[in-house]
Chains A and B, each alone.
Chain A
């Protein structure tokens, strides 16, 4: 990725124009080999392909393993600080959101495509699981896998035509899909329970019921590490380089022989599947499901997590999800001013850390280190 990539989202246009209009200000990159690493994105792992084999220590310090290790340690150590069911709940919600954000970051941050309808995929996964398990008695795990396949197929079918669109048109199309899914979930009341929602059976695997907070914490924590690992590997692979080429300049990418549509569709499907799995698990965790899960606002919230944490940064997505999920819990003492302050914090972050929390802070550290 190139330094000049239009990636500085301002609050007003954060979610649409800038992200998905490749090539306007960017000179055509060199998609075949990784572009020089932008200071804002030190953990993309770019440049590792051509590197010679390294020692264990060096390997550990590679973002792919090192960063992952930090994440795993944080996940493992965190329970020591969780005092009650509420703390666990916040941590689990962060985990759920972080997994979706990691998937969405692949699409928005690396591939440069916007989706304002991801809560729709999450909703389809959630309702598929909820309905098949609660009403038809499927085993939850089977249901989760089938839901992921169904959502993957759905995303594939949708992606082929809409990923031909760019900029505002792509944003509009994904927005439309999200809204359509949301409307269907609201209207098909005999199946989905309508706007009042439906009660969902607990999550059981081979007779073991996930009931205690730490059961869920272990499951979600584990999945989060796996999701981060998957994401880092995708980015570090030839696919990842192709994606960043697409982000840099779609035309240039095509010229050098990257099948841009194929990669875009692929990553769209992957991120939809991430959302679907979280949807399925979330429905079982809360044991209640309402169409709000698939609402437009939820989609926007997910995009904010990615943008706030830092686009094109897997750990940025995690930090963004954590911030957006936990911050409101710290602000409750402000009563009526809660939302005002929350909005203000988001605005300040985007003004002073325009590349998102993680890339901006990383750049700051780097500059400090060089002095």
Chain B
């Protein structure tokens, strides 16, 4: 009898628990004084936190700044943020929450390509303007009506590198790529555009993201006759090891890295071996070195100064820059549209012309929701442990 009684009590408890849980799911917040709600979902924790953390800090900083200056169209901005931990499934749940429950007016974010690609169908279905901070070309190709993005694509990095190689007279190159997401994607993109620049890839090696020695692959490249330059698309510590091994093997051909290593961390890891390495990167990295008549200079120096003032010297990263661009593009579009009505904002966004951001000049159009050209990248060389702008000097 006791057992039966217990079971009954218990079942009732379970049922009550379920009902209570459902009833107390966060309810719809009633908007009191009509702020414009900007939703965002970022990988602030987890393996992609190096992206999400500066992105969130940037958004919070500039939302506060905009509000202090009187908001947008007389309304204050409100940032609604959720941390995805880099998980696309969680991103989908959070975006549903942003749209259905928080009723945001626009969404920016998606630190990784996976998160951004996963939520795009929702943006189209619910018709919410969305600006992604992730790299993949698939986000804007094919163009979706409601989705835009701010960072350069890997294809553009390849184009910038091949442009530079061509200028220096290199037509036969070797590639050594990481097999992580970034390396894989860029390897494929570079292989695709190489013929357009008359560049022939003689050797194509790969290494795993956790490998600690790439001498074997590099020896094979060294023994390939006719290699004039080597390109290393990769991310994380792999490229630093490649660079070190490269010097140990005393390979003479110039080494190109990708924008994936455009952080001070790379120079720290590779040390002296990094000397002479070239890579494409956003102007933000060399903000002070830009010539004074460069229209991008005030934007990047302004953002850098503001970010570093709050978060410490040397803390600025291009990833935070993508978030800055995304927020500013949405705010500009809202100002142009004179409202935060989604359709109007989307249309204004698509007609954005000549916006100067940290990634370069943005010109959106019906067929281009990225709006950047390879010129948005700057070619840098590492000299004396620091970045040096070589765009103009090599001519």
Q: Tell whether B184 is near chain A: CB-to-CB under 8 Å.
A: yes
Q: Is the CB of A194 within 8 A of B184?
A: yes
A332 to B27, CA, bound (A): 14
A42-B3, A90-B25, A286-B88 known; A187 vs B97 contact (CB < 8 Å): no
The 7 closest A-B CB pairs, nearest first, are: A195-B181, A81-B22, A84-B100, A288-B118, A85-B100, A86-B97, A290-B114
Q: Which of A85, A93, A196, A339 meets B45, CB within 8 Å?
A: A339
Q: Tell whether A362 is near chain B: CB-to-CB under 8 Å.
A: yes
A-B pairs with beta carbons under 8 Å apart, 12 shown: A73-B15, A83-B28, A87-B22, A91-B22, A194-B184, A195-B181, A196-B185, A319-B14, A326-B21, A338-B83, A369-B5, A369-B9
Q: Which of A74, A194, A290, A315 meets B185, CB within 8 Å?
A: A194
Q: Tell whether B7 is near chain A: CB-to-CB under 8 Å.
A: yes
The A-contacting residues of B in range 24-47, CB under 8 angstroms, are 25-28, 45
A43-B7, A70-B14 known; A195 vs B92 contact (CB < 8 Å): no
Q: A78-B19, A326-B25 are in contact. List 12 more A-B contacts (CB 8 A).
A: A42-B10, A67-B7, A70-B11, A87-B22, A91-B22, A195-B114, A288-B121, A290-B118, A319-B14, A361-B13, A369-B2, A370-B2
Contacts of B114 in A (CB 8 A): 195-197, 288, 290, 292
A81-B23, A86-B96, A93-B89 known; A199 vs B101 contact (CB < 8 Å): no
Q: Tell whether A346 is near chain B: CB-to-CB under 8 Å.
A: no
Q: Is the CB of B121 within 8 A of A293?
A: no
Contacts of A73 in B (CB 8 A): 15
A70-B15, A77-B19, A81-B25 known; A61 vs B99 contact (CB < 8 Å): no
Contacts of B121 in A (CB 8 A): 199, 287-288
Contacts of A287 in B (CB 8 A): 118, 121
Q: Is the CB of B184 within 8 A of A195?
A: yes
Q: Tell whether A206 is near chain B: CB-to-CB under 8 Å.
A: no
Q: Tell whether A236 is near chain B: CB-to-CB under 8 Å.
A: no
Q: Which of A85, A328, A358 meets B96, CB within 8 Å?
A: A85
Q: Tell whether A19 is near chain B: CB-to-CB under 8 Å.
A: no
Residue of B nearest to A325 (CB): B93
A297 to chain B, nearest CB (A): 9
A77 to B93, CA, bound (A): 22
Residue of A nearest to B179 (CB): A187
Residue of B nearest to A336 (CB): B44
Q: Is the CB of A42 within 8 A of B117?
A: no
Number of interface residues, chain A, beta carbon within 8 A: 55
Residue of A nearest to B125 (CB): A211
Contacts of A330 in B (CB 8 A): 25-26
Q: Tell whether A254 is near chain B: CB-to-CB under 8 Å.
A: no
Q: Is the CB of B101 within 8 A of A196?
A: no
Q: Tell whether B138 is near chain A: CB-to-CB under 8 Å.
A: yes
B333 to chain A, nearest CB (A): 25
Pick from B2, B22, B82, B181 the residue with the most CB of A within 10 Å: B22
Q: Tell whether B76 is near chain A: CB-to-CB under 8 Å.
A: no
Q: Tell whether B347 is near chain A: CB-to-CB under 8 Å.
A: no
Contact string against B for A residues 179-201, beta-carbon threshold 8 Å, 1 for contact and 0 otherwise: 00000001101000011110100
- Residues of A whose CB lies within 8 Å of any CB of B are 42-43, 61, 63, 66-67, 70, 73-74, 77-78, 81-87, 89-91, 93, 186-187, 189, 194-197, 199, 282, 286-288, 290, 292-293, 315, 319, 322, 326, 328-330, 332, 335, 338-339, 358, 361-362, 365-366, 369-370
Q: Tell whether B155 is near chain A: CB-to-CB under 8 Å.
A: no
Q: Is the CB of A61 within 8 A of B13?
A: no
Q: Is the CB of B45 within 8 A of A365?
A: no
A86-B96, A196-B181 known; A365 vs B10 contact (CB < 8 Å): yes
Q: Which of B10, B83, B101, B136 meets A86, CB within 8 Å?
A: B101
The A-contacting residues of B in range 85-132, CB under 8 angstroms, are 86-90, 92-93, 96-97, 99-101, 113-114, 117-118, 121
A77-B19, A196-B114, A329-B25 known; A66 vs B97 contact (CB < 8 Å): no
Q: Which of B7, B86, B88, B101 meets A61, CB within 8 Å?
A: B7
Q: Is the CB of B14 within 8 A of A90?
A: no
A73 to B16, CA, bound (A): 11
A332 to B25, CA, bound (A): 12
Q: Is the CB of A365 within 8 A of B27?
A: no
Contacts of B15 in A (CB 8 A): 70, 73-74
A288 to B96, CA, bound (A): 15
A70 to B18, CA, bound (A): 10
The A-contacting residues of B in range 237-262, CB under 8 angstroms, are none
A282 to B87, CA, bound (A): 14
A73-B15, A90-B25, A288-B117 known; A42 vs B181 contact (CB < 8 Å): no
Q: Tell whether B264 is near chain A: CB-to-CB under 8 Å.
A: no
Contacts of A292 in B (CB 8 A): 86-89, 114
Contacts of A326 in B (CB 8 A): 21, 25
Residue of B nearest to A332 (CB): B82
Q: Is the CB of A361 within 8 A of B10?
A: yes
Q: Tell whether B168 is near chain A: CB-to-CB under 8 Å.
A: no
Contacts of A322 in B (CB 8 A): 18, 21
A19 to B5, CA, bound (A): 30
Q: Is the CB of A366 within 8 A of B92?
A: no
Contacts of B92 in A (CB 8 A): 89, 286, 288
A322 to B21, CA, bound (A): 10
A89 to B94, CA, bound (A): 10
Pick from B9, B21, B82, B89 the residue with the most CB of A within 10 Å: B89
A85-B99, A288-B121, A329-B93 known; A61 vs B4 contact (CB < 8 Å): yes
Q: Tell whether B6 is near chain A: CB-to-CB under 8 Å.
A: yes
Q: Is the CB of B10 within 8 A of A362?
A: yes
Q: Is the CB of B88 within 8 A of A288?
A: yes
A78-B18, A292-B88 known; A195 vs B180 contact (CB < 8 Å): yes
Q: Is the CB of A286 within 8 A of B13?
A: no
Contacts of B17 in A (CB 8 A): 319
Q: Is the CB of B136 within 8 A of A89?
A: no
A315 to B7, CA, bound (A): 12
Q: Is the CB of B184 within 8 A of A197?
A: no
